[in-house]
Amino acid sequence: MFKKKKTEGELKLFRFILSKFGYRPNNIFYFQKAITHKSFISHSESDYSNERLEFLGDAILDSITAEFLFLKFPESNEGALTKLKSKIVNRKNLCKLGEEIGIREVLLYNNNRSINIATLEGNAFEALIGAIYLDGGYLKTKKVIEQYIFKRYLNFTQLLEEEIDFKSKLFIWCQRKKLDLKFNLLSEEHKNGKWEYNIQVQINQQEYGMGKGPSKKVAEQNAAKETFELLGEIWILI
């Protein structure tokens, strides 16, 4: 029995999934549905939209992300892992992922209506995860997310560091060790309409990390972070 020849649209979608997700679709129907927004179809065909796949993909992505973070950061507490997972799977980041992947290349929607395309891309991204799960199962979906999405588009160390108040952590660290801590302002300059502050950390009159930033607060955070790196203590924070 001969297989039905793929249409031009199906081939385009097939190549897109293969190049962006590293996955070879078996049933292209799942993926056609995943890229179809409800604005593109008639009311009588509303069950063909990607909303149900989006719901499924959201749950699968949440589960795989939680497992990945649990194994990748064995020293991180529940609070840090929860915040990091939220940063990854929140609506804003999913929309950004959808945009970076370029989902609008294949997205089907009514462009005559006023629609936020970034939101549609984020929703379609989740729907595509749901499609991969239905088409290939949990393990293949896990491989796609970890090896293609996480490696290409996410910097976990940076995301974790964004959650850390390095200055407060350094004060606590010094208090525990009964050390004197100071943040010294080395310079403040106004260039091209912007301020730049240069701060250096001093512990027991010994100079450590330096940091620059558009405000004293940012410069102090950067100086504290560099101090932890110089002390070899950066990973106790994560």
Q: Which token pair is 68?
A: 């990945």
Which one of the listed residues 10, 47, 54, 58 is annotated catalytic? 58
- What are the E-state strand segments in 68-193? 181-191
Annotation marks residue 135 as catalytic = no
d(CA 131, CA 51): 12
Which one of the listed residues 121, 126, 220, 226 is annotated catalytic? 126
Q: How many CA atoms lie within 13 A of 136 on its CB side?
A: 22
Annotation marks residue 47 as catalytic = no
Closest CA to 86 of 142, 145, 144, 160: 160
d(CA 28, CA 5): 12
Catalytic residue positions? 58, 126
